Amino acid sequence: MKQGYHHGNLRQALVEAALELIAEKGPTGFTLSEAAKAVDVTPAAVYRHFAGRDQLIAEVARQGYDIFAALMEFAYADGQPTALAAFEATGRAYLAFARKYPGHYMAMFESGLSFNAHPDLALMAQKARAVLERAAERLSQHMPAGRRPPASMFSAHIWAMSHGVVELFMRGNPGAKSPFTPEDLLESGIGIYLRGLGLLTPDA
């Protein structure tokens, strides 16, 4: 009979177990009982920390957004050395996060969690989006005011492009093949987008 978890932080141990299960089976492919078994505790012990699987996945996603926001902030580097370089760095950070933290990424973007049901997730996700919006705002200052798209739209386009590259060309989608690396695809895509806005010269 299991004696329960008596050493360390059970809540975080369950998060770590969930990360492994998510990476192996996807965010909806495991049960709370499997998470309990992975850390050798009874299901009853798990329910003292999480009301259900969704709440456990939400905590994984919340921690993921926290890491993601920190990586984006680090990549942005307060707009240095230039607004353009900092903006491009945030796109690369998106790919780096998806590659290094696949369990968190899946919990964040593939679990179907509702921000309405988990408002703390919405706050953390906005923290990450705010970095990209700030980068877009800083870069758009180099455009004439009449041709300047809203920073939220500008950043959403780059977010969507980054996410598309991850989903199609980094996560092993069998229907999407490319002779180019995800990084090259994203960099060229951002370049085309920025040229269209007049932020890069045609030969840059």
Tokens of 91: 């796109």
Q: Which of 61-70, 139-148, 179-188 has the lowest mean pLDDT?
A: 139-148
Average pLDDT, the chain: 85
If pLDDT is split at 50, 70 and 90, which confidence band does 204 have? very low
If pLDDT is split at 50, 70 and 90, which confidence band does 1 have? very low
Q: Which residue has the tokens 């093949």?
A: 177
Q: What is the pLDDT of residue 174?
A: 62
Amino acid in the structure at residue 57: I
CB atoms within 10 A of CB 185: 18
Tokens of 178: 């490319």
Please give the Cα distance from 67 to 100 (Å, whole number).
11
Please give the Cα distance from 201 to 61 (Å, whole number).
39
pLDDT tens for 82-137 read 888 888 888 889 999 999 999 999 999 988 888 888 888 888 888 888 988 888 88
Domains of the chain, with CATH numbers?
1-50 (1.10.10), 61-196 (1.10.357.10)
The fraction of the chain above a pLDDT of 70, given in percent, is 91
pLDDT tens for 146-203 read 778 888 888 899 889 999 999 888 876 666 678 888 889 998 998 888 888 877 655 4
- In this predicted structure, the answer to whether residue 5 has a pLDDT above a threshold of 60 is no
Cβ(69)–Cβ(128) below 8 Å: yes
Max distance between CA atoms of the chain, in angstroms, equals: 70
Tokens of 82: 């230039």
Cβ(11)–Cβ(47) below 8 Å: no
CB atoms within 10 A of CB 169: 20
